Structure 1
Amino acid sequence: MHRSSLTLKSSLQQVAAEELGDEVGAVVALDPQTGAILAMVTSPTYDPADLAGHDSSVVNQNYQSLLAQENGPLINRAIAGDTYPPGSTFKAHRRCGSPGGRIHAGDGACTRPTSSRCRTRPRPSATMAANRAATASPPRWPMRCAPACNTAFADLGMGLGWSVIERKAEEFGFTDKIDIPLSVTASRLPSDPDDAQTAMSAIGQYDVRSTPLQMAMVAAAIANDGTLMTPYLVDTVRAPDLKVIDVTEPEVYKEPMTTEDANTLTDMMVDVVDSGTGTAARISGVEVAGKTGTAETGVEGAAPHAWFVSFAPANDPVIAVAVVVENGGSLGSEATGGKVAAPIAKAVMEEAIRLDEEGDL
């Protein structure tokens, strides 16, 4: 029987699992320069030994028990099962000029597909700095009395047109079926949305759906100067006599953006952590780039999902992380990506930096 060595780092797995705790969600961490998956945690989970016994009746009973649990412990939320609306983290793959450049902040109202209205602070034809639009992410719809981030990016999306957003998202791997070698559920994009649906999709809502791995890939591509590496989980494969018969070599998956654009987005994401919605991910003495997301689920009365995507150190990244906590976790409707997901990502990044400094990453 062949034996495989995984790319996972045990201490990163442990930190991610402990920080996620009893919340329902997932954490994925990548090496931006190689694509190696350094951590991949899904919660809730189960003990694999329960499904690997010699008594088939006991194994089947254990399986049926797990299958019946409403919180779905058999689902690997990091790469499969239900995909999630990414919310504002979807904006991380977009470039809108230099960080200080001005972009339209909305005309005071925007129309959802349901034709309901959502009010914002900006006066008609108001503009705002692009980095302010990225750092001031309002929690969710409706956007009344909130900073203009969503309307700014919604307007930008309608101005670009869906075909441009779709093409760029696909360059980051959206809609692709990937094997790591575990099968990864393809992230989804809407088909031929109208203007209102394009506005919603531009901020990671409507029919945009993603796996945490996909959003980690977006962060990793930005961290790696615009080059997206192929994610992989198996490092080496050995024969029964332990002779190495296969080694995974890092390879470029796609090049979705230029180095200049990646640097621009990095600066904007650093602002998010320094002075925006992601301050809970600050690490003393280390510059961190990140983006929060608080995504409506489309389920009546359900609390939004809390997201955070990030990488560190921003100037020489050793890790890119995506965290999602379903329905805001223990904070429920009071949750935001900055409150719930960012601290989890911070802990994982801190451990990765420690490992790198000790030469163990």
Structure 2
Amino acid sequence: MENFVYNGNPGRVIFGRGTIARLPEEAERLKARRILVLSTPEQAEQASAIARHMGSRAVATYSKAQMHTPVEVTADAMRYVEQHAIDALLSVGGGSTTGLGKAIAFRTDLPQIVVPTTYAGSEATPILGETESGRKVTKSDPRILPEVIVYDVDLTMTLPVSLSVTSGINAVAHAVEALYAKEANPIISLMAEEGITAIARALPRIHSNLGDEDARADALYGAWLCGVCLGSVGMALHHKLCHTLGGMFNLPHAQMHTAVLPHAIAYNADATPAAMARLGRALGAADPAAGIFDLAKGLGATMSLKDLGMSDGSVDAAVEQAMSNAYWNPRELEKRGLTDLLERAFRGDAPKTA
């Protein structure tokens, strides 16, 4: 076995059904007395209902979270933090709300309790991606990592099939990159394979039966594992491309990750045979890139970036930005190869595999 370094991020996880009933005791553990409840506009009602578990501790609500965490939204939310003397945050929802909570925590070091309602997985990472002036920039810092995650399977039971699929594939992307990250290690690789396996097993069952409790639990469990993977090792080509596209075109987050992932896997496949072997085993596919494409498309996901809102004639500009200040990647970033990758993803073609 080769030498490796493993860093375990601190954090408390409550997993199960009906676990939101434990929110008051988690707030007490953090000595939180004045909590700001965060959500998107679409989940404001759900967030308010969950916040009622906190009683008088929930002193204010901010329901304007947006995907890709625009800095102007964070600045607006910071005014609520100051006006209400907030001493803790409760984020209810998916990656957009979690991102806003992280952005506030990065600026204030306030403790965070996150109640995920999708399979985003970002709640398990100390990574924040913020968008300003059409560019999404990521940073990692201990202040960004939430202190407590309360996973309640019951909250995911009505998550629409379409969002369940793309949210799940988005989580898979975290683990895929962890398998071939520069800092990859045996512990994270075990978690990555287990997380991908759980989600790949769950999504077809959710597609067939929205109310399959065991499948919902598998998907949420897998999403957590995949998030831990991303939070423990670095990112590579897939996340760089998605951060570029998200910042430039404001594409829907989970759907964009779903459309790009098969092509990023295909680009790196020959350079990462051990990672591809694990990924193929997790997916039950001889060709992992084709396997993830077929899984997503077969479950109804939109696989064309054009259909998601990317502009005609914009591939070259996206490639230029992605290659500037690029993340480490197992295969050298080549302009021609990246252009072909994004053109295929733009059209919604199957990945180009060896």
Structure of larger gyration radius = 1
Shorter-normalised TM-score: what interval?
Answer: under 0.3
Q: Which has the higher contact order (CA 8 A, sep 6+)?
A: 1
* TM-score, normalised via structure 2 length: 0.27
* TM-score, normalised via structure 1 length: 0.27
